[in-house]
Amino acid sequence: MQPLWHPSPNFGPRRDGLRPGLIVLHYTGMRGAEDALARLCDPAAEVSAHYMIGSCGTLWQMVAEDQRAWHAGAGAWQGLQDINSRSIGVELVNSGAQPFSAPQMQRLEALLGALMQRWAIPADAVIGHSDMAPDRKEDPGPKFDWPLLARQGLAVWPEGLGPDVALAQSLDQIGYPPSDPEKRLQAFRFRFFPTATGPETTRDRRRAACVAATLRWV
């Protein structure tokens, strides 16, 4: 399916000749697609994304892939700043409180496959907004089905447990930026251990070590 072109004025050139090497997934946190499109295309809001997928699977494109959309904001990944210049942003119409629909996920799988092939982006470079900005973001949140993407080779997911090493060490290796330890733990859990609650556990540490061991830059 070709995306529906719905241009946003909120974009600019990628800085320093950078190309997309990451894909950042978001939820809109709004009531529906119409409200989200209005905000992502409002000059006063100064936010945008390259793509948005509705709950019924409709795909919109707002910014050309070679341009810098304003979706990521302040944050970092693997020690790199200006994530907007390094990434493609994909918004999913969802409040964060409900599961993501099957048509929406199917459209996302098709989109990710095309983007990853077009820009040579590996599975471990598909991240959530909360991964690169744990102090201030929670999306796409604990309801998002990361294992489904991983089974299609479109993301990473830990298989088993690693050694019991310091959580901060593993999170640094994975790519999480320095932040409040509790918020960084929560961001990790949103992504890799969504059923976990309460204080840090041995299982958190061993799961994080397993993730770190699978990544190409560790």
Report phi then psi at 47, rounded to 5: -135, 155
Distance separating alpha carbons of residues 144 and 205, to the nearest angstrom: 22
52-72 exposure pattern, b = at least 16 Cβ within 10 A, e = fewer: bbbbebbbbbbbeeeebbbbb
Q: Return d(Cα 33, Cα 27) in angstroms, integer.
A: 11
Told to judge if 34 belongs to the known catalytic residues of this protein, a careful annotator would answer no
If 0-12 CB within 10 Å is exposed, 13-18 middle and 19+ buried, where does residue 44 land? exposed
The CA-based dihedral angle spanning residues 211, 212, 215, 218, taken in that order and rounded to the nearest 10 degrees: -170
CA distance 159 to 32: 35
Q: Active-site residue among 65, 91, 138, 182?
A: 91
The dihedral of CA 7, 74, 66, 52: what is its sign? negative
The DSSP secondary structure of 117-144, one letter per residue, reads HHHT--GGGEEEHHHH-TTT--TT-TTS
Q: Report the catalytic residues.
A: 91
